[in-house]
Structure formats: structure tokens, C-alpha cells
Amino acid sequence: MLLKLVIIGVILVIGGLSLYPYLAKLPSSVNIAFNAVADNVSDFKYNTIHTVSGTLDQTVNAVENKVETITPSADDLNPVKQIHDKIISPTNQQVYYGQVYEKDEEQQKCKISVPEMTKIVNGKKELTHTIDLENCKFQKQEQVQITETTGPVNTEAISVEPLPHSKVFETLQLKTIRHDDNTVFIQYEDTSGKTVKVTVTLRNSEKRLFSGEFFSSKFDTNVNDLSASPHIIEMVVEHPDYGTVSSSVYDPEGNQDTTIYGVFTQPPN
């Protein structure tokens, strides 16, 4: 529609210029009227062209913006990235508690027992899981906190930190003594006197050697006929103030310490 108006305006201007010599002979009043019409036609031509030009510019800008909006980025077109984003697994953290059962003071290396991390090795379940720690800053028999972080593509990272004080229950005490005749003395005491029940288990890699329940805040017991093979003592305490807390003492083969102290901790939520 606008293009037609422009063409008509151009035709009128050309026709007016062609008739101008003849119109010059007309009376002055007629010339004044014609000049006014010519000026209006010229203004109409300029305004029409300007309007069309502005409309075209706006249309081009709108199309360019639309193209920029719908054009995908290189990352969006990368199928490898899209597949990676779909299969990538979230980072997961799990907290465990363990105890240093062996330390090389010269090499500053230590071994940490973590019963909750036991795995199946060669078709057989571990008695306890052992973490070998370089640059060990912990003391033998010290309780520690282990954080296992599982990242993308099943990568694993292990960090070992001192046991938070809030996780230690100082009123509960566990002591084990290994005698020369292969018997083990187990002693438990709760200085608060509030223990409801204690479940004690002693086992090696082959079988359970002892299991018992005690309903007292203080008791001791002897386990006889214990071989020199590695064994672990696990204790679970039901307590009205602490809830369920646990302790474990791992005694490896060749251990020279006859007395081992256990530290009670509360399993992470």
C-alpha cells in the first residue's frame, strides 16, 4: 500500500514539473494554488519515503533480534556435553568413624580400622576395612572421622579428620585386655549409670566367637579360647541420653598392645 502511494506521488511530481511552463502563464492566483499543491505533494513524498524507510529498519532489527534469540549456542549443539550432563552423577558424601590401630612413627604412616566400610574381597567379607594413611598426624588407638566423597563417574576421595568432640561420649568407657593364654578381658563402664542395654560381639574372619547382652552400666567378661588371629570387638549401647552409640576395637595379628581402649561414637544420620 505504501509503495503504491510513493509511486503515485512521484508521478504527480513529474507531471507537475512537465506542466509547469504552461502553468506559469496562468494568473498569479492560480500559480499560488498550484505551488501549494506541489509543496504538499513534495511533503507527502518525503514523509511517505521516511515512513517506509523507518518501517523497514524496524522490521530488519526485529528479524535480527529474533535470529539472535533462536540461534543455539555451541554448547547447546554439542551432543557430547548433553550426554555428559545426563549421565553425570551428583556428588555424595558418607561419614564413618574409625580407630588408628597401627602407626609407624619413623615413616609417619598409620593404619585405620573402619568397620562400617567393610567390603567383599575375593568372595569373602573383610573383618574390618583398613585405610592406609600417609603423613599421619594421629596417635595409635585414636578415634578419627572418615569422609568418603563419591563424585562424577564414580571417582572417590577419602579424607581423615580428628573426631569432633561432640561425637565423643566421655561417660562411656570400653577397655579390652589380651592375655598370654589367648583370652580377652572386656570391661565396660558408664559413669552416668544410665545404660539400658549393651550388646557385645567378638569375631574373627572365620566366625563369631562371642555374643552377649548386658543390662548394666558396669560389667566385665572373659572370652576364652581366642586364637592369635586378628579379631574385632564391637559394642552397641542403648542409652536414654545418647540414644544408640557404638564402639569397636580391632586387634590385628602381631599387635604388641595388650590393652586397647575403645571410644564410643554415634552413627551419622
What is the pTM (predicted TM-score) of this model? 0.62
What residues pair up with 202 in beta bridges, in sequence order?
210, 233
Cβ(43)–Cβ(89) below 8 Å: no
d(CA 8, CA 63): 30
For 41-83, what is each residue's pLDDT tens digit?
Answer: 455 444 544 554 555 456 545 545 554 555 566 666 666 555 5
C-alpha cell at 210: 562371642
Q: What is the pLDDT, as a whole number, of residue 48?
A: 47
Q: What is the pLDDT, as a whole number, of residue 163?
A: 85
C-alpha cell at 183: 583370652
- From 196, 193, 173, 175, select the one nearest 184 (Cα to Cα): 175
What residues pair up with 247 in beta bridges, in sequence order?
235
d(CA 176, CA 185): 5
Q: What is the pLDDT, as a whole number, of residue 258?
A: 84
Q: What is the pLDDT, as a whole number, of residue 134?
A: 95
Q: What is the pLDDT, as a whole number, of residue 176?
A: 92
Helices (H), 2-103: 2-23, 28-70, 74-77, 79-87
Relative to beta strand 172-178, strand 259-262 is antiparallel
- Given the C-alpha cell 566421655, which residue does it identify? 170
Q: Which residues of the chain have pLDDT under 70?
A: 1-90, 166, 225-227, 267-269
